[in-house]
Amino acid sequence: MSTTTSRSNPATRRRGRPDQDTVAFNPVDVHVGSRVRLRRTLLGLSQGNLGKIIGLTFQQVQKYERGANRISASKLFLLSHILDVPVSFFFDDMPSATANSVIADRIPVSAATDTANTPSAAHEPNPLAKRETLELVRAYYRIADPTVRRRLFDLTTSMAKPSDAPIIAPTP
């Protein structure tokens, strides 16, 4: 009598990365990871270089930045020193919906106050965390002449929509 294991059965065997649509990462881990990516990119560090500094592979850094792996307190403390930011930087600009959804998941309904009006954790991606934005900021600060830099700033702000309008990301 032959038994089949999940290793020999192609229908139950998993290959490669799990389907991205079925994996639900913790929204706080995703936010913290995006802040690591933001700062790393602004400093011009590659994932591989950051990984070498903190004793990880670039794949592990990738997982941190996507929120697939949770960053421990000691690693977050180390990252704050390497990236020259306070630990609080990694939590700055976190949408309240993200924080509220995580808290609501942990607090019993009877202890939560007014959770019915808590916004959904689903939100638009932060435009400040996009590669295009980071490259634009880095290029802007590479302009040596402060007068030219200021004129570019003025031009850009004059072309932008009013500040009370929502930011609409360009379609690729």
d(CA 32, CA 148): 34
Query: 67-122 pLDDT, tens per residue?
Result: 999 999 999 999 999 999 999 899 888 887 777 777 766 666 554 444 444 444 44
**Confidence at residue 165, expressed as pLDDT on a 0 to 100 scale:** 52
Is residue 61 within 8 A of residue 47, CB to CB? The reply is yes
pTM, rounded to two decimals: 0.55
- Out of 2.60.120.260, 1.20.1250.20, 3.30.420.40, 1.10.260.40, the CATH code matching 24-116 is 1.10.260.40
pLDDT at 5 > cutoff 80: no
3-state secondary structure of 34: helix
**DSSP assignment string, 98-141:** HHHHHHHHHS-TTTSSSGGGPPPS--PPPGGGSHHHHHHHHHHH
Is the Cα dihedral 106, 108, 112, 116 positive or negative? positive
**Confidence at residue 107, expressed as pLDDT on a 0 to 100 scale:** 65
pLDDT band at 40 (very low <50, low <70, confident <90, very high): very high
**Confidence at residue 101, expressed as pLDDT on a 0 to 100 scale:** 72
37 vs 165, more confident: 37
Compute the mean pLDDT over every residue in the chain, rounded to the nearest whole number. Answer: 75
Domain range summary for the chain, segments of one domain joined by +: 24-116, 126-159
149 vs 6, more confident: 149
Query: 123-135 pLDDT, tens per residue?
Result: 556 676 677 887 8
Query: Token match 């309008």: residue?
Result: 165
